[in-house]
A and B are shown apart, each in its own frame.
Chain A
């Protein structure tokens, strides 16, 4: 299976995300093909100022993907996911946006007939691969490792349709499928501070503490994230703050790689600020 892949700006620099996705896709036999010449999705910034310009950025990505023969776009970042989906919704709803976009795209000999569906890597792994892709591999003794799934705020709302907006369960099902023990907790969709994590670290500290404590109180020893910024904020946020339990924060793809028995170095586990070695060794 081949997918048009939109990495977004933080995929390559996120701790082990790119490595683990590469190792995992090799192992399960799917291919993420980077959309050629992709550009920034605009994140939240442009939408605060000018809808058309914001839509144009995402629209160009759609046009490039369509020109590349892809029928959908897969991304691994919650912000990209939400931004692309918001643009898709606007382009589908407002014909004048679409025509404005196509006037611009014409300069590059590009054209967009209709926006493409956008999915997250997590949805591809859960929905497109058979249960058996993981099931035969799951006797690795991870059942004793309690993992809290952390979705962040944008995967399920306001533009996502992956699951229930408040209490999603898709990540927990995946964690269970991988042979880990999913933990029920209430911090799944709380805000991590997003891009404020860097310039306003102190203000974000209580947000991160809420999430980490919420997961830890329910017995989690690991946190699995689906978004580069969530991972970064939780990982470094715990480092900065005092009095937090220091839960390792892994990408769900790193967890999946472990479940398949891939070597930790291929999954970039050494790039985590809080090492997962201790927890994984205790199993």
Chain B
């Protein structure tokens, strides 16, 4: 107040008909009010909000009786604007008005009349005390952005968008699915008129796609909404569909070519679709979409990062050469790995959750063995001049050679032995890895232009210094671990007949054919030991025994190899420890051993063997082959003093780059890791090749190198585990099928030759095996679609996109989801094949559905007896208490369609029939007349155990018929569960983002149940369709038009008034600490650097008061909620 002037307050107490008056003694309140300080007049009226009621106030103001107004009535939510308007009309500033709620806060919630009256008096006293200190406030007009955002493009969103667009406003329609139409696009007919859903909704989807004022954003979600009524900024993120909308013609060749079959969600899982798909032929937009999830666990697990899912799918399609090329993006030796890889991918295979892992390794071998290597085309290589030397031609060396050659480097491989392949050649017996396989794959590498120099030993034939002088700019050391470890037991050194396993295998692989002895003892439990034993047996040793100091469970050798050895008659002596070699005249005659027992765990996690005292025994033999480990043999080490060695005779390298102490020398494989697997050597090779490439290009060697994997697909380079939530769910209907097993030669044939044991999969077996793949990653990135797309519309590297929209109003139309009846186990959904949900049945009925609109059981026959069970999940205190409103009607629609299409007998199990709507009751009558049975009773159980033998294969529906008061047991062929409606997934997020609250069931709250059904408490945001509560199509369309009407009405005004109840900051008190800026959710406070004070932007401020609460110097406050006003009100109430 300016100069102190005594306020003249008018208090107006409302009876609200019978809502306030009988409980609150209105007359007493008026008498009480009349005696309050500054109150000039106090009146009562039956309905203050009515015209005559408002007139009382207006007249008093106009006559100068009052200049402050208090109305004691209902909640200000509804009528505060009414009375402010009345004040304004009478010429009073509308903020000289205060409303107090004596209905919700008093009469409705107080049992005792005296107490209610007393409380009403207190509330009136508070309001009167407060209004005396009110100040006149004003609002400002700001222009609105003439565009509408509609979230959700089901029938509600489409209709709202079309109505607003027809009014001439720009509409942005955001839909999270790849195409629009929502649930209605899945339906066949609509009740009660039985219009075809497609016939009435496709014109709308088409108009949406073509309307000049509608921008459609599919596969997109709203992430953020900022601003205020008339001026919202909306952030939208759009998932990549990997197909360019402006190029795709919708021809469908890509889907024909795609090998990946996934569950078709649009058909509710009743059919399959491809990973590149379109929901249905008439979809808008018609652009295809690729369903990509996280990389499959097999791909993620592969140390070399091979796209496993991709090549498995290509094999399934018979595209063997492309499969091999895909494998060779990551490994140079597919046929080799197809035989000797320890296949960590198979351990990660999710098929294990159904039955067994895929035979991935066998599939890889199959592909490599079914192409013509001689004619395998060479990739185009862009030559570079740098020379690179690779020392050692094992898997690590060949990988680096391959990777760098593909990048155009001039690669020379130096090999000590006369043959290429390293340990692959001399360490692995022919019967596991035939040399022709190795030859054909190395030949291919040589065809790429890799130069190989054999019988070139480091230190003897060349040095690092010499290589540098010859112009080799970088060197990769992959000399492996070829030295066998000694047993260090008496007799080992001096006895002939002791030969270490690696030396033995090498000799045999290089041509040795004589057997090591008649009775051979191999010492060790690893794969090398088993290989040495197998080779000795094939060379004709009569008796071969493997000694191992722990038990069979602890053997590091692969179980299948041990199994194979036993089949070949090789003996296994576990828990046996060699003590000394026995000889007579320098000739080996036996080995003395000791029994062991397993003690506590050692640091490797295996149980430590403990000798059993006094258990010595002798195994007679004439050859002993120790196979207890290898190390690197580097007789030249002293010559190359600059090369630093690490523990256990391995080369020291930087973990990520594989760079040694000499900057141009890199190393990998067994020489770095110690004896390890082929695939690990290849993985190390990839890391080294990448680092060498960077080194040669003068870049930083270590920055951003792939850690464990090197995957070329975007977003997959971090080597992490697959995100389980972002993989294709394992279909519940997956049928268990045995894993393909590659047949083995019989054991007796095996030991007579070096022929390969494993015969490989047949073409049929490989195809079936590939089809067992669950396609965890969705799209397998085989790029078959790219090959067939004539208009080049496919872009597998499309990124997610984020953009902002400026709109004046929002319409939420996020719809519903159907209740999942799985928890109602007594109805057998998911277990009994002929139990369907209503949405599944809609698809079964639809011309574009899995049966082309024929109502068929999974057997392919039409049903003769059908039961429809109402109220599944609705009107059920365990799930949803509310009635879903549409189920009775659509259930009867189903009954009619079943009768019409199949002539089957139909039973409807209902609680009550709810048919309140135009022509609805008539439809109910019609369906009854069509001979449908109506049984009033909740179904207790649906079982596949028949009451009578003739009903075998049928389902029995058990219910109490509450009209006949008898148990009813009806055998039927098919059951439809009429599931209720629930808020759509993600509606909680939409609520949070937009600030629109939800009710206890999760539906969005309308502003007023009767009078503002499409408005929300958030100004400028409106509701359409089922997101506000279950409703049928006619109601949805009506509501959508209403919501669009509200939005258009708002935008048509051109301006909106800003709030008057906003923050202010007193510049005299502000210390410039900027605390308020940090707490402001609307970015409405800016800082005036010149004056060193914070200032409120009156357009952006929403009056939330956060700044006022946070301000340490009490400079910030909120108009209409000043400390004085609030304290006066409280004091008066407590007085």
Contacts and interface: CB of A to CB of B under 8 A. Distances in A.
A186 B825 contact: no
A167 B945 contact: no
Contacts of B944: 186
A186 B832 CA distance: 9
Nearest to A218: B944
Interface string B934-954: 000000010111000000100
Contacts of B943: 186
B431 to A, nearest CB: 26
A213 B945 CA distance: 8
Chain B interface mostly: loop
Interface in B806-854: 825-826, 828, 831-832
Given A186-B945, A210-B945, A167 B831 contact: yes
A187 interface: yes
B825 A217 contact: no
B952 A167 contact: no
Interface range for A? 10 to 19
A214 B825 contact: no
Given A164-B825, A187-B945, A210-B945, A217 B952 contact: yes
B962 to A, nearest CB: 22
A184 B832 CA distance: 10
A149 B721 CA distance: 37
B829 to A, nearest CB: 10
A20 to B, nearest CB: 28
A165 B824 CA distance: 10
A184 B941 CA distance: 17
Interface centre among A164, A166, A187, A210 (most CB of B within 10 A): A166
Contacts of B825: 164-167
Interface in A165-204: 165-167, 184, 186-187, 190
Among B825, B828, B945, residue most surrounded by chain A Cβ atoms (within 10 Å): B945
A210 B943 CA distance: 11
Contacts of A213: 945
A167 B943 CA distance: 11
A213 B825 CA distance: 21
A217 B952 CA distance: 9
Contacts of A214: 945
A214 B828 CA distance: 15
A186 B952 contact: no
Please report whether the interface of chain A is mostly helix, strand, loop or mixed according to DSSP: loop
A166 B945 contact: no
Nearest to B826: A166
Contacts of B826: 166-167
Interface string A128-168: 00000000000000000000000000000000000011110
Contacts of A217: 945, 952
A187 B945 CA distance: 8
Nearest to B949: A213
Most B Cβ at <10 Å: residue of A164, A166, A186, A214: A186
A111 B148 CA distance: 73
Contacts of A186: 828, 832, 943-945
Contacts of A210: 945
Contacts of A166: 825-826, 941
Interface string B264-303: 0000000000000000000000000000000000000000
Contacts of B828: 167, 186
A164 B824 CA distance: 10
B741 to A, nearest CB: 15
Nearest to A206: B947
Nearest to B830: A167
A210 B826 CA distance: 17
Nearest to A184: B831
A171 to B, nearest CB: 15
A214 B832 CA distance: 14
A217 B945 CA distance: 9
B942 to A, nearest CB: 9
A165 B825 CA distance: 8
Interface string B1035-1074: 0000000000000000000000000000000000000000
B956 to A, nearest CB: 10
A164 B944 CA distance: 19
A187 B828 CA distance: 12
Q: Residue among B825, B831, B941 with the most chain A CB within 10 A? A: B825
A193 to B, nearest CB: 16
A120 to B, nearest CB: 20
Contacts of A190: 945
Nearest to A190: B945
Contacts of B941: 166
A210 B945 CA distance: 7
A231 B976 CA distance: 36
A167 B828 CA distance: 9
B940 to A, nearest CB: 10
Interface string B624-664: 00000000000000000000000000000000000000000
A86 B825 CA distance: 24
Contacts of A187: 945
B952 to A, nearest CB: 7
A198 B825 CA distance: 31
A190 B943 CA distance: 11
Interface in B910-954: 941, 943-945, 952
A184 B944 CA distance: 11
Contacts of A164: 825
A214 B826 CA distance: 16
Nearest to A168: B825
Contacts of B832: 186
Contacts of A165: 825
Contacts of B945: 186-187, 190, 210, 213-214, 217
A54 to B, nearest CB: 28
A122 to B, nearest CB: 19
A214 B952 CA distance: 10
A165 B878 CA distance: 14
Contacts of B831: 167, 184
A156 to B, nearest CB: 10
A159 B945 CA distance: 26
Interface string A200-239: 0000000000100110010000000000000000000000
B761 to A, nearest CB: 22
A203 B482 CA distance: 80
A125 B148 CA distance: 62
Interface in A233-278: none
A24 B7 CA distance: 92
Nearest to B553: A136
A28 to B, nearest CB: 18
A166 to B, nearest CB: 4
A213 B944 CA distance: 11
Nearest to B945: A214
A218 B260 CA distance: 32
A84 to B, nearest CB: 25
Nearest to A167: B825
A187 B825 CA distance: 13
Contacts of A167: 825-826, 828, 831
A184 B828 CA distance: 12
A165 B750 CA distance: 55
A201 to B, nearest CB: 21
A166 B831 CA distance: 12
A166 B943 CA distance: 11
A167 B826 CA distance: 7
22 contacts: A164-B825, A165-B825, A166-B825, A166-B826, A166-B941, A167-B825, A167-B826, A167-B828, A167-B831, A184-B831, A186-B828, A186-B832, A186-B943, A186-B944, A186-B945, A187-B945, A190-B945, A210-B945, A213-B945, A214-B945, A217-B945, A217-B952
Given A167-B828, A186-B832, A186-B943, 11 more contacts: A164-B825, A165-B825, A166-B826, A166-B941, A167-B831, A184-B831, A186-B944, A187-B945, A213-B945, A214-B945, A217-B952
Closest 8 CB pairs of A and B: A167-B825, A166-B825, A214-B945, A166-B826, A186-B943, A186-B944, A186-B945, A164-B825
